[in-house]
Amino acid sequence: MSNKQARVPLPVEDERTPLKARKVSFSWEDTPLHWVPGDPFTTHTINVLHLLLPAGERWFVHVYKQVLPYIRDERLREDVIGFIGQEAMHSQAHDEVLPHLKELGLDPTPYTAQVDWLFEKLLGDRTLPPGRARRWWLMERVALIAAIEHYTAFLGNWVLNAEELDRRGADPTMLDLLRWHGAEEVEHRSVAFELFLHVDGGYRRRVRTWATAFTALVFLWQRGARFFMENDPTLLDGKASFRAFYVRGRRGVLPSTGDMLRSIPRYLSRDYHPSQEGSTEQAVAYLASSPAAVAALAAEKGTK
């Protein structure tokens, strides 16, 4: 690549850990519709994750399966394989929340069918001639994933530290799903970016795909929150607004607007490396105590 950076950012100290998928399972029977008590807006804003992630993370896996042959570094290859397993599990875990929402009277299908279209068709393989065009589209998608992973790591780090949710009595099963997922996102936060640097790494592409990913995330998220608020069977006049988001960010039940804005220049900095954000130690510590992850470990030991 002619526009490859001369300077490759290096990971901080020893933030690397071997990645493995944990076979978690959650039972949703006892989770109420508004699992952050008395706060439908916060609940539904976070619920948008369940709309986007099943299709989105399935798409990550689909794209990464194709990029494996381009990897010439054995260690990175192992990381990517571990990443694929973790993402596939995330996708499934969030997918299983959807039938529960439906049972509670909030059918997510109209929205998820569109998200499915976005990832399966618009961002799918497309009919391209083999060679440059196909490679370009693959690299573009790898860069998109790196940009999205910047935000999943940001959110993962946020939810691990969002003690306000505990104080407000949020549903423990849902918090465990979010924190297990968040912790694994923090744990593997460097993989997507390192893969992007390894196979392409162009700065222009990084900026371009960041702009696309950021716009799409904002668009899909506000849309999802509005969709949930308007279709919630218990709300008469459910509305989502930026103001509500801003206010809850200040309270600490959602990420704060300021933190989100400040994370933008960090990703666009030429010295950016994901290991500068969040802490693997905290993530691994959570995974060691997460009820779902502990049960997964016990089940795995039992069968071997």
Partner 1 sequence: MPRLRTVVAVAGAALLARRAMRRRIQASPLWPMPALDEPVSGRPRTRALRLLVTAHEKVADGVVRLRLEGHDLPRWEPGAHLDLVLPSGLVRQYSLCGDPEDTSSYTVATRLVEDGRGGSREVHEQVREGMELEVRGPRNRFPLVAAPAYVFVAGGIGITPVLPMLRALPEGTDWRLLYGGRTRASMPFLEEIEKLDAGQGRVSVVAEDEDGLPDLDTLFAEVPEGAAVYCCGPEGLMAAVEEWAPQVHLERFAPRSSTEGNGSFEVELRRSGRVLTVPADSSVLASVRAELPDTLYSCEQGFCGTCQQRVLEGEVDHRDELLTDAERDDSMLICVSRARGGRLVLDM
When binding is defined by CB under 8 A, the residue of 32, 37, 99, 169 that contacts partner 1 is 99
User: CB of 37: closest distance to partner 1 in angstroms?
Assistant: 25
By the rule CB under 8 A, 228 interacts with partner 1: no
By the rule CB under 8 A, 81 interacts with partner 1: yes
Site track 16-55 with partner 1 (rule: CB under 8 A), x = hit: ----xx-x---------------------------x--xx
User: CB of 84: closest distance to partner 1 in angstroms?
Assistant: 5
Strand, helix or coil at 170?
coil
**122 burial class (0-12, 13-18, 19+ CB within 10 angstroms)?**
exposed
Query: Any idea how long the chain is?
Result: 304
Spatial CB neighbours of 289, under 8 Å, sequence gap ≥ 6? none
Cα separations (Å) of 266 from 3, 73, 119, 193, 277? 20, 26, 27, 13, 10
Answer for the pair 122, 184: CB distance below 8 angstroms, yes or no. no
By the rule CB under 8 A, 130 interacts with partner 1: no
By the rule CB under 8 A, 183 interacts with partner 1: no
When binding is defined by CB under 8 A, the residue of 15, 34, 108, 184 that contacts partner 1 is 108
Read off the tokens for 187.
Answer: 């744990």
d(CA 73, CA 78): 9
When binding is defined by CB under 8 A, the residue of 36, 45, 82, 178 that contacts partner 1 is 82
Give the single-character DSSP code of 9.
P
Answer for the pair 70, 127: CB distance below 8 angstroms, yes or no. no
Stretch that binds partner 1, among 86-94, 156-164, 167-175, 242-250 (CB under 8 A): 86-94
For the chain, the 3-state helix, strand and coil shares in percent, each to the nearest 5, are: 70, 0, 30
User: In terms of CB distance, is 35 or 227 closer to partner 1?
Assistant: 227
Stretch that binds partner 1, among 107-115, 126-134, 136-144, 258-266 (CB under 8 A): 107-115
Give the single-character DSSP code of 270.
T
Read off the tokens for 23.
Answer: 């076979």
d(CA 159, CA 185): 11
When binding is defined by CB under 8 A, the residue of 230, 239, 246, 251 that contacts partner 1 is 230
Stretch that binds partner 1, among 89-97, 183-191, 205-213, 280-288 (CB under 8 A): 89-97
User: CB of 52: closest distance to partner 1 in angstroms?
Assistant: 9
When binding is defined by CB under 8 A, the residue of 115, 145, 240, 253 that contacts partner 1 is 115
d(CA 260, CA 241): 17
Residue 94's identity, in one-letter code, is H
When binding is defined by CB under 8 A, the residue of 75, 102, 250, 270 that contacts partner 1 is 102
User: CB of 172: closest distance to partner 1 in angstroms?
Assistant: 22
Q: Which residues bind partner 1 (CB under 8 A)?
A: 20-21, 23, 51, 54-55, 58, 61, 65, 68-69, 81-82, 84-85, 88-89, 92, 95, 98-99, 102, 108-118, 120-121, 226-227, 230, 300, 303
